[in-house]
Structure 1
Amino acid sequence: MNASSRLTMLTRIGFASRGVLYLVIAYLIFRTGHAEDQSGALAYLGGGSGKLLLGVMAVGLLAYGLWRLSDAAFDIEGHEAGRNGAAERAAAAVSGVVHLLLSWQAVWLIRGASATGDGAEEGARTALELPGGKILLLVAATLLLAAGIFQLVKAAKGSFLEHLDPQVAARPWVRWSGRAGYGARGIVFLICSYFLINAGLEAQPDEAGGMAEAIEWLPDPFDVVVAMGLLAFGLFSLVEARFRSLHDVPVDALARQADNLRHKL
Structure 2
Amino acid sequence: MTTETLPLARGKLTAKAPLAPLVWFKSGGPADWLFEPKDADDLAVFLGDLDPAVAVMALGLGSNLIVRDGGFPGVVVRLGKAFAKVEAIDATTLRCGGGASGILVSSTARDTGIAGLEFLRSIPGTVGGFVRMNGGAYGSEVKDILLEAEIVLRSGERRTLPLADLGYTYRHSELPAGAVVIGATFRGRPGEAQAIQAEMDRISANREASQPLRSKTGGSTFKNPDGHKAWALVDEAGCRGLTVGGAQVSEKHTNFLINTGAATSADIEALGEEVRRRVKAKSGVELQWEIQRVGVMK
> Structure 1 length normalisation: TM-score?
0.31
Higher strand share: 2
> Structure 2 length normalisation: TM-score?
0.29
Relative contact order higher in (CA < 8 Å, ≥ 6 apart): 1
